Amino acid sequence: MTQEYTAQSVTAGGEVNRSGSRVRALFGRWRRDPGIWRRGVVLAVLAVLVALLMILHAHIPNKIGNLGSLTETFLPWLGLFVPLLLVLALVRRSATALIALLLPAVVWVNLFGGLLTDKSGGGGDLMVATHNVNAENPDPEGTASAIADSGADVVALEELKASAVPVYEKALAGKYPYHSVQGTVGLWSKYPMTAARSVDIRLGWVRAMRATVSTPHGRIAVYVAHLPSVRVKLHAGFTANQRDDSADALGEAIADEPLDEVILLGDLNGTMNDRSLKAVTSQMRSTQGAAGHGYGFSWPASFPLARIDQIMVRGVEPTSSWSLPATHSDHLPLAARVELR
């Protein structure tokens, strides 16, 4: 028995030693290969370019097809170039490329690494939710029920089709006695709601609103907005000019808000990185960035690529932020808990 155990130990140790020897032999060949510094120069240049793109994204001009905003919308995805270039650098056995890859890796971690940590906490005085329900939603009643079952105290819905509004009203009436629909957006609340009105975001029709919600912890101003859609076209680039004008108008309305505590819920068709939403993002915080875990991408629901739906606050402290399960919409619903000061 003792002899067998000893033999097995020797075998295991031998396997470990052989694996270590193979690794040392591999690096030994690399050290003796004079081409490791000459090969992979193109890969090294690409690595530096990716890093510069992330560092200098704010300087990419928007004059040509809103290229800057398009880059900023999908900015986190530039990190995928790091593992891709890493594999190519290893295949090419290029020390130059491997060293150059440190630059985009460090930049990406500096920009987005913090989003990977779980910043959510417990507590919170109020739970809010927002959902672009999709005008062509085949099951508005099921979608409304799913949102109501989330336990949110305040719910904002965007892209409400006129013929479907009565369905949403009926499905939500049991849990939300107060509500207001303005154009294609609506707000439902468990707490009294006053001063509900539309907000002009320069479209010619109503896609934004504002209301005062009187919670047990104080009054808050709640804005709901659905900014115009954007498109990526080969001949025109990122067509976002109408959205940008609406974002400016929404930012002006929020800046003029007399209440200190403000929550913005809605589909902004843009990310927090997009400079064109600066009129809004410069004065409000994203609950996902402050108290979420991960990127919280919301669109498209089948394979989320960007967080274009937002829950943003001013004068309110986010405690947690997350995505709700998919409904029959092409967007994921979002929720957050906040603490009123």
| 319: CATH | 3.60.10.10
Residues in CB range of 219: below 8 A, 6 or more apart:
212, 213, 259, 261
Question: Are 89 and 154 part of one and the same domain?
Answer: no
Is pLDDT above 70 for 10? no
Question: Are 103 and 131 part of one and the same domain?
Answer: no
DSSP 228: P
In a domain, 5, yes or no: no
DSSP 303: S
User: Counting Cβ atoms within 10 Å, is residue 315 exposed (0-12), middle (13-18) or buried (19+)?
Assistant: middle
pTM value? 0.86
In a domain, 6, yes or no: no
In a domain, 1, yes or no: no
In a domain, 121, yes or no: no
In a domain, 91, yes or no: yes
Question: Are 64 and 183 part of one and the same domain?
Answer: no
Q: Could you tell me if residue 111 is left (phi over 0), alpha (psi between -120 and 50 degrees) or otherwise beta?
A: alpha
In a domain, 57, yes or no: yes
Percentage of residues of the chain with pLDDT beyond 70: 88
Least confident of 8-12, 143-147, 179-183, 197-201: 8-12
* Amino acid 7: pLDDT: 45
Question: Are 79 and 133 part of one and the same domain?
Answer: no
Residue 264's nearest CA partner among 329, 331, 336 is 336
Question: Are 154 and 292 part of one and the same domain?
Answer: yes
Ordered alpha helix ranges (H), 231-294: 241-255, 278-281, 287-291
* Amino acid 123: pLDDT: 85
Question: Are 266 and 316 part of one and the same domain?
Answer: yes
Question: Are 152 and 75 part of one and the same domain?
Answer: no
Question: Are 131 and 111 part of one and the same domain?
Answer: no
Question: Are 55 and 142 part of one and the same domain?
Answer: no
Question: Are 110 and 140 part of one and the same domain?
Answer: no
Question: Are 135 and 105 part of one and the same domain?
Answer: no
Domain boundary among 116, 151, 168: 116
User: How many domains does the structure of the chain reveal?
Assistant: 2
Domain boundary among 59, 85, 116: 116
* Amino acid 28: pLDDT: 60
Is pLDDT above 80 for 33? no
Domain boundary among 95, 116, 137: 116
Question: Are 160 and 288 part of one and the same domain?
Answer: yes
Percentage of residues of the chain with pLDDT beyond 90: 78
In a domain, 2, yes or no: no
Q: Which domain holds residue 225?
A: 126-340
In a domain, 12, yes or no: no
CA dist., res. 167 & res. 172, Å (int): 9
Is pLDDT above 80 for 231? no
